[in-house]
Chain A
Amino acid sequence: MKSIVAMVRADYPTVYQDISGAMQLAGTPQIATGSRVAIKINICEARTPETGAITHPLFLDAVLHYLREHYENLKVFVVESDATVVLADDYIKWFGFLPVMQKWQAEWSNLSKQKVIPHKINGRVLKEVPVAEVLEGSYIISLSKLKTNTLTGVTFSLKNQFGCLPLVDKSIYHDRIDDVIADVNMVLKPHFSFVDGIIGMGGTQGPALGIPVPAKVIVCGADPVAVDSVCARIMGFNPRFVGHIRKSARAGVGSLNYELKGLSIKEARINFEINKPEMWLLKLGGSLQRRAQKRLRDAWKS
């Protein structure tokens, strides 16, 4: 059976109506009264929302509005973790998330500061996934962005879940990032995924330093592999050739086969100014830089 994915035109001033429309197409998620809901936003670096690098607070506002309007007594948490370039506690204050959380009685939770519960898996790289307590038993909603990524080509809901790992230095997994993303999603697969593509990010330096692209779409659905497959197609990538999407599908996280409702891929397509050879060279350049600096330090030391 094909997974249902919805895609609609959207803009921030009308984002609540746009999300409501998308949910009608995707099918309203079943969330039991009184459930705990964890909304995983995406803050990959200290960039302001209009750059397309981070989840827009207006998008979070609309999703929280929708949840409060359609469900009762939900205990809602907004979550993100620290990383080498992320000071999550600061960034939610700096970029306008706190007033939104206060408005809809949602609580902030920094996953790097939570007690973790290890989950054993037979993953490609990880044999154990540390899960922050707040995510345990929660209904997880992913609010990711439509972006390029120098390491993984693209980044949407599956890659957003990589940010659920509480450890700060996540770069230790960069060499096998596709496998690790699939492993994390075996345990922390979002129950529902939104991809905020109202302002996406293109160019060769995503996910933080690329080109803001006004793609003006929202993509959503219950199957993150299917949602990400649609997003990849919008950006001109074949999802079967995107390592972490293919590997997540193989790991049983979701399906590459989808039924798309709403906008077609053709209607949503916009130039993301992606230069694939340059992206590859930049990845190589980053690695050369790390090696050169290490060699220099080692030479001095010896």
Chain B
Amino acid sequence: MEKLKIGVIGAGAIARRGHLPTLLGMRDVKIVGIAELDDSTRREVASEFSIKNHYADYRELLNTESLNVIDICTPPQTHLEIIKAAAEKGIHVLVEKPLTLSWPDTCQIEKAVRASGIKFSVVQNYRYFPGILEVKDRIAQGYLGRIVTMHGLGLIRFPGQWTRSRWLYHQGGTLYDYGPHLIDLLLWFNDARPQKVYAAGGDISGGDMGFINYAEIIIEFENKAIATADISWLTGTLNLTIDIHGTGGHIYLDVRSDSYAEVHGFATPFDDLRAFLKRMLKISRGVFNDRYFKGALLYYEPLFSDFFNAVKQNTAPPVSIDEAVMVSAVLEAAHRSITLKRPVLMDELLGKTE
């Protein structure tokens, strides 16, 4: 079968560390061109990844090359314009998270994607951690009964190492860093529509930073489940964990070590021991086979592969536009709730596009 022709837009840290090497390693795709504004970065990356055609303007890439898919690795403020341009040409879109930093942008993207019928997916690569896939499967099969509450913790250091880009320091701050991963997982696990979002938090410096650097979000779902998301840049730790309590059992998921513990009824010493041994075994194996150190970098490949299969076979993409919009909506609702100091009903957000 003919290889899919991919154009990559943006040659920053996420493209260089994650997307480009992954795409190069895939047999059924070919990177036919790259677009990047910065001249020296563009040349350097094109040479590093042996990409012959490189452009300063993404429109030139879209107009010149015959593309099946574009992979967008630019800052989120640029996503709307690029997605609209691709949708008009019928080019399928893979886009890095966060989808946007603004609700009107999200609504316009949704409209453009639906009108064009292109395949579209946000890169939620965390869904592909084996431990997370297993947890999703356990929930789907009913081992936890009905989900009652979920508690997510998304703590990460201030951005700096991965990206020196300043886009993260917009008003939403930390909400848009680990937030899209954590909220996506909470919504994916529960698989019900959020109804109401209440959030507290803000700027711990009292305004010197000018963006949200810690937040606690409460999401009420239409199936009566409740989720909390504790998100922060302030603690100097790296933690992505989710506690899921169902009527039939409890799962504690630690994404960093890609392990989870499942308990039903009262936790006995056997449960504690089993959880401890399972986690230790997972970590030890990960250290010895390198997977522990490679972390989320490993999970671009299965997501990209699912997306390309969806393009070729005209099936559903790995992360649907509905799911992508809902993650943006919850983040927007949390941001509004922090600003307005009151709960935000999802209907009041989803019912209008401002």
The chain A residues found within 8 Å of chain B, CB to CB, are 45-48, 51, 53, 84-87, 90, 93-96, 98, 168, 208-209, 285, 288-289, 292-293, 295-297, 299-301
Contact = CB atoms under 8 A, between A and B. Distances in A.
A112 to B, nearest CB: 11
B104 to A, nearest CB: 27
Interface in B176-235: 204-205, 208-209, 233-234
Contacts, number: 68
Given A86-B160, A96-B208, A293-B294, A209 B24 contact: no
Given A45-B158, A85-B161, A301-B24, A96 B205 contact: yes
B290 A292 contact: yes
A299 to B, nearest CB: 7
A297 B17 contact: yes
Interface in B261-302: 290, 293-294, 297-298
Given A85-B161, A87-B164, 11 more contacts: A45-B157, A46-B158, A53-B236, A84-B160, A85-B158, A87-B166, A94-B208, A209-B157, A289-B293, A292-B293, A296-B297
B97 to A, nearest CB: 20
Contacts of B298: 296
Given A46-B158, A289-B293, A301-B49, A94 B25 contact: no
Contacts of B290: 292, 295-296
A209 B236 CA distance: 6
Q: Most chain-B CB neighbours within 10 Å: which of A48, A85, A289, A300?
A: A300
B143 interface: no
B22 interface: yes
Given A94-B209, A301-B24, A292 B294 contact: yes
B160 A300 contact: no
A208 B205 CA distance: 18
Nearest to A87: B160
Q: Most chain-A CB neighbours within 10 Å: which of B24, B25, B160?
A: B160
Given A45-B160, A46-B233, A288 B17 contact: no
B205 A94 contact: yes
Interface in B4-22: 17, 21-22
Contacts of B17: 293, 297
Interface of B is mostly: loop
B239 to A, nearest CB: 12
A64 to B, nearest CB: 19
A51 B204 CA distance: 14
B237 interface: yes
Given A90-B169, A209-B237, A293 B25 contact: no
Nearest to A98: B208
Interface of B: 17, 21-22, 24-25, 49, 157-158, 160-161, 164, 166, 169, 204-205, 208-209, 233-234, 236-237, 290, 293-294, 297-298
Contacts of B294: 292-293, 296
B234 A84 contact: no
A293 B160 contact: no
B21 A85 contact: no
A46 B174 CA distance: 13
Contact of A301 (B25, B157, B166, B204): B25
A209 B233 CA distance: 13
A86 B21 CA distance: 27
A86 B164 CA distance: 9
A47 B21 CA distance: 32
B282 to A, nearest CB: 16
B24 A300 contact: yes
7 contacts: A45-B157, A93-B209, A96-B205, A96-B208, A289-B293, A295-B290, A296-B298
A293 B158 contact: no
A46 B159 CA distance: 9
A179 to B, nearest CB: 24
Given A86-B160, A87-B160, A301 B205 contact: no
Contacts of B169: 90
Contact of A85 (B22, B160, B209): B160
Contacts of B208: 93-96, 98
Contacts of A295: 290
Contact of A293 (B22, B204, B293): B293
B205 A46 contact: no
Contact of A48 (B161, B166, B234): B234
A301 B160 CA distance: 26
Contacts of A289: 293
Contacts of A299: 25
Given A85-B160, A297-B21, A51 B205 contact: no
Q: Which 5 pairs show the lowest CB-CB distances between chains A and B?
A: A300-B25, A46-B158, A85-B160, A292-B293, A300-B21
A51 B21 contact: no
B160 A47 contact: no
A90 B161 CA distance: 15
B155 to A, nearest CB: 12
Contacts of B166: 87
A300 B26 CA distance: 8
A173 to B, nearest CB: 16
Contacts of A285: 293
B297 A46 contact: no
Contacts of A45: 157-158, 160, 236
Nearest to A53: B236
Contacts of A292: 290, 293-294
A47 B293 contact: no
A19 B339 CA distance: 42
Contacts of A293: 17, 293-294, 297
Contacts of B24: 300-301
